[in-house]
Amino acid sequence: MKSVPPNPSAPAEGHDAPDPSKAFDDIYNRNFSFVWRCLRGLGVPAVALDDAAQDVFLVVHRQLAGFRGESSPRTWLFGIARNVAANHLRRARRKQGPLEPLVEDPAHLVAGPHEHAEDAEAAAFVAEFLAGLDARKRELFVLAVLEEMTMPEVAAALSIPLNTAYTRLRRVRAAFEEALGRHVS
């Protein structure tokens, strides 16, 4: 099964299309992968991704008519995804569900065990790193580093000043490289 190639720089427009169903189609088709990866990066376990993504797009469907395009669609979507992820994690903590296996991406169940081993290893390392960050740094890492959004977009999505975003980015990058160095050694 093929993975979706990330395309963070793709324009995510279409929100101002006159046809609401077309607007939803555009938002969904252009940003489904973005939302999915954001949810994963924010700590939603793979087994809950379907539910979480569904929740995000149900909110999108309901609120799309009120979306004025004052922010970029991805900024808006990230705000929804962040709340959905937080709620999923809260519920999971309350239920004390089973611990998530380290590598449990559905793709790995379909493809051969070695085909994605290196991708899975990298993803596991990034997941472990993200789990050690506080929420603010994790969100910034997901948007700026994983999704490669522009810093003004990141600052807008996180509602922080641009300079603060740059400062946090430098720190979180340094932390990532330090963690990687420890892992390698």
Residues 124-143 that bind another protein (CB under 8 A): 125-127
* Residue 50 contacts another protein per CB under 8 A: yes
- Give the footprint of another protein on residues 61-90 (CB under 8 A): 61-65, 79-84, 86-87, 90
* Residue 164 contacts another protein per CB under 8 A: no
* Residue 150 contacts another protein per CB under 8 A: no
Q: Which two tokens stand for residue 129?
A: 């790193």
CB 112, CB 137: distance < 8 Å: no
Total residues contacting another protein by CB under 8 A comes to 75
**How does DSSP assign 126-142, residue by residue?**
HHHHHHTS-HHHHHHII
Which residue's CB is nearer to another protein, number 161 or number 170?
170
Output DSSP code: residue 147: S
CB 41, CB 146: distance < 8 Å: yes
Output DSSP code: residue 5: P
CB of 157 to another protein, least distance (A): 14
Binding another protein (rule: CB under 8 A), the pick from 33, 151, 160, 175 is 33
